[in-house]
Structure 1
């Protein structure tokens, strides 16, 4: 090739933009045992639950604290244990936290998802004024599908997601129980008068929505809307926009099938009067943890996107919706990182991931 032909090629290569750097993961806490959820304390520390029933604090770059005293007995069997934790919106003043867990019955033969309120001491060493403000009914002899995510609405009401305990899947369609439901209660456990079934004969008044399977993601977005994701069976994981009184279909309709094959319910994916998911996953990714990113720390392309951990495949799923809530982008980030149990947006606007089997909290660093 002549020198004259080479010159335009060299100029073009020089003008071409360099490959864009990608965000990276950095470990901020390690040495945890089966961590399940985290919350951000005002002093910059993390408040972390471990499934075996332990709650700890940790500083970035430091070791986890000794167990916080005062956590009630939990039934750490199967998928149960000490699960989600949230700070009260006025935590800086009242020191109140909320946590949910697998609550054993008095005879320890059954269990169910429960929501508790407590005060965290100034020295971060103990819980006081611990009170269970909601208990799922009925309790069941099951080790599966506790759900157990908490979200506080702008009006101060609390939402709690609960699985149908696997054995109780048919009960997800009836309103005389809390199995496969999202409930809404006051901070003292009281039933808000405007709950959709508060005056419905035969219905439990705490119920907000029903027909759910096993939800391990629940958030209020910047517009005050409630979003939930749930595990399908073999296929059919769902991201749902939740509205009061609506039926989300399980187990009548699903995009999944029985483990090993075979139809579930009516063997259909849609039915009048039952809601369709905004996003569905076939095969299942086993979603856990949910964020709709508010900050612009990663640039405009990620702002407003959903980020969801995959337990099954060990990656972070990014989902972008259009103005009509239709998925327009889905991306798998950080493949083979490990079971992602929780995903949170920190006060610094960065994403934090809880890696269950690795016992670590990692932070997503923006590209330089």
Structure 2
């Protein structure tokens, strides 16, 4: 690995970022070795407005009235009113195993939320064997607007097995157009479970709304755990979203180098920990995807890493150059990475220098984009056209 070259690239990136106005998106070259990211081709302008502050926010969802649901990792769920900037705590959230990367995680609405008021959320729990993620469905009761609460809580899915440590839960949630629930499950920093069909760690899972395996899953004949699995060989898939054609994409953290953007295919094995375009943190080499063509290679691999935290596909017209493109929240990169998935090859086309770690993104009805920073005293912000 050419460390001097990487150092030069990082220094050039720093010099460029200090000259960027915060209200405008800028192009960023991404021609590093072992990366398929292409030269930036877009310059979509934007402006940023801080709208609130949260303590370690983790996920954000939009209610039909355009109020926001925001989770905090320590175990709080809030309803936020964008017009008044008032936030109200939701009662009835279960106790979470807070620590490391664990705590309250993702939140999504049931496809028929307007009728049934059901939400789904994920969190880390402690139990026999250690820790693991759980997904719960509940009714969001807002009959008293100033006292929202969760009722009728039902755990529908758990990571198997529970293991020691509090990293790589992933536990992102998404519904597809057919009403199937998809869950990203990290390998919990244990490596081999990503290839073990009797564990749902390191997998992308496709379930019915009640948590049962969905018909048509590729490994139904291999037992009840394997029946949940759609794809395997994943490390820490923290971004998950469907594009306009209904294709699922996942952004996941690599080890030391090799962050991935994957087009998710039925029964595909993405190779971790057997292959990766990064290496172990110890410095031990992991063979690249090119050495094992039987494993599905990422559409883009980033070295230096972007540390993806979240993923949306932009549908609106407020930012016309981003329409139908992927927006990836970046942690260590302190950026929002814009990717065109319709080009061959798939390529990064713009990078927004946010100067803060970005934890989550969501699009609202008016076409604006709301995001949350990572960490304590983190901003809730809105991106709009200038």
Aligned residues: 340
C-alpha contact 1:209 1:242 (8 A) present in aligned 2? yes
Give the Cα–Cα distance (whole angstroms) in 2 for the partners of residues 202 and 98 of structure 1: 22
RMSD of aligned C-alpha atoms?
1.8
C-alpha contact 1:175 1:202 (8 A) present in aligned 2? no
> 1:131: which partner in 2?
154
> 2:214: which partner in 1?
192
Q: How many angstroms does 1:298 deviate by?
A: 1.1
Match of 2:102 among 71, 80, 97: 80
Report the 3-state secondary structure (helix = DSSP H, G, I; strand = E; otherwise coil) of the residue aligned with 1:148: strand
* Larger Rg computed on CA atoms: 1
Report the 3-state secondary structure (helix = DSSP H, G, I; strand = E; otherwise coil) of the residue aligned with 2:227: coil
* TM-score normalised by the chain length of structure 1: 0.88
CA shift in 2, pair 1:237/1:64, >3 Å:
farther
Residues 1:144 and 2:167 aligned together? yes
Report the 3-state secondary structure (helix = DSSP H, G, I; strand = E; otherwise coil) of the residue aligned with 2:205: strand
Report the 3-state secondary structure (helix = DSSP H, G, I; strand = E; otherwise coil) of the residue aligned with 2:209: coil
Report the 3-state secondary structure (helix = DSSP H, G, I; strand = E; otherwise coil) of the residue aligned with 1:205: helix
> 2:346: which partner in 1?
327
Give the Cα–Cα distance (whole angstroms) in 1 for the partners of residues 119 and 77 of structure 2: 12
Give the Cα–Cα distance (whole angstroms) in 2 for the partners of residues 323 and 21 of structure 1: 18
Q: Describe the superposition over 1:277-332 as per-residue Cα deviations: whole angstroms up to 9, x where unpaired.
A: 11111011110110111112112x221211111110211111123344x2344322
Correspondence 1:159-238 to 2 at 5 A:
159-166=182-189, 168-200=190-222, 204-238=226-260
Residues 1:361 and 2:383 aligned together? no
The gaps in structure 2 that reach 5 residues or longer are 1-42
Give the Cα–Cα distance (whole angstroms) in 2 for the partners of residues 158 and 85 of structure 1: 12
Report the 3-state secondary structure (helix = DSSP H, G, I; strand = E; otherwise coil) of the residue aligned with 1:199: helix
C-alpha contact 1:270 1:276 (8 A) present in aligned 2? no
Give the Cα–Cα distance (whole angstroms) in 2 for the partners of residues 345 and 202 of structure 1: 36
4+ aligned runs moved over 6 Å, structure 1: none
Give the Cα–Cα distance (whole angstroms) in 1 for the partners of residues 178 and 289 of structure 2: 38
Give the Cα–Cα distance (whole angstroms) in 2 for the partners of residues 68 and 274 of structure 1: 43
The gaps in structure 1 that reach 5 residues or longer are 1-19
C-alpha contact 1:56 1:64 (8 A) present in aligned 2? no
CA shift in 2, pair 1:219/1:268, >3 Å:
closer
CA shift in 2, pair 1:317/1:261, >3 Å:
same
> 2:271: which partner in 1?
249
